[in-house]
Amino acid sequence: MTPMFFLRSFIMNGLAVVLKKRVLVLLSGGIDSAVCATKLCTDGNDVYALSIRYPNSANAEEIDNAIFHAKRLHIKHVVVDFNFIEQLTVGVDANMSFNVGGAINNCISRGKVPMPMSVELLHVVALMFARMREIRHIYWSIHKDDIVGDSEKKIFEYLRALEGPATLGRYSSCKFELPFIGFSKKEVIEIGESLDVNFDHTHSCSSSSRVACGVCRQCVLRADAFESLHPKKLAG
Ligand SMILES: [Zn+2]
């Protein structure tokens, strides 16, 4: 191999890195974000991942899984601690949960009240994170089965509104991408299976437990999706 070959190879590899689209994926540690992160890597993007650790170990299992996938994919991963939320709930009967879509999506979870603005807070932090790294695309893996009622239109209205302030000043625009919004849970799992995503390291439950409750909307969605893809044989 000649020095010229090495030089050309060096330049081409450097160019490939430069030409890669830099993206941010919101990596919750559930099925959908693990599939989304894997797809973004497979498509050759320069992928960053952001996870949020909620107070009281509310999503400890998910965070462990998010770390697992980020390591497996060799992507840059930051876990931001949201423990300060506890300070906001002093004096409040805060039997609250952190849900996909939050108040925008009219989420209801096992009698708990969705933590107001928790998703919005996550998105603002994501915008901050993205702007500091000149990332123009943030991937949120909400899908068709996450949508309650006519929330889809509201979610798009909300995201477009949120992107507005982020472009103020000297900053470039940054857009939220919802690649799975037209896909069912089952279809997202199918994509994941084609990409060899390890679903043993995903957690879907809305309860704060490390063990899935089996009855919340997210648990039921997950079980139904896997069951329809891989029906269990009935005994006898
Ligand atoms: Zn559950």
pLDDT in tens, 131-174: 999 999 999 999 998 887 778 888 899 899 999 887 777 777 89
pTM, to two decimals: 0.85
Q: Which residue has the higher pLDDT, 55 or 128?
A: 128
Return the CATH fold of 20-229: Rossmann fold (3.40.50)
Instruction: State the residue for tokens 């540690």.
Output: 29
- Indicate left, alpha or beta for 116 from its phi (over 0: left) and psi (-120 to 50: alpha): beta
Q: Which residues, in sequence order, are CB contacts of 61 under 8 Å at separation 6+? A: 29, 203, 205, 209, 210
pLDDT at 168: 77
pLDDT in tens, 30-65: 999 999 999 999 999 999 999 999 887 878 889 999
Ligand 1 centroid, distance to 97 Cα (angstroms):
12
Domain residue spans in the chain? 20-229
Ligand 1 centroid, distance to 202 Cα (angstroms):
13
For residue 103, give Cα distances in angstroms to 9, 17, 163.
Answer: 51, 39, 18
Q: Summarize the confidence of residues 15-41 as an average pLDDT.
A: 90
Q: Summarize the confidence of residues 81-101 as an average pLDDT.
A: 75
Ligand 1 centroid, distance to 203 Cα (angstroms):
9
CA distance 159 to 137: 12
CA distance 67 to 77: 8
Ligand 1 centroid, distance to 209 Cα (angstroms):
8
Burial label, 102 (beta-carbon count in 10 A; 0-12, 13-18, 19+): buried
pLDDT score of 96 more than 90: no
Ligand 1 centroid, distance to 217 Cα (angstroms):
7
Q: Which residues pair with 177 in a beta bridge?
A: 139
pLDDT at 115: 73
pLDDT score of 68 more than 70: yes
CA distance 182 to 100: 16
Ligand 1 centroid, distance to 14 Cα (angstroms):
45
The amino acid at residue 147 is I
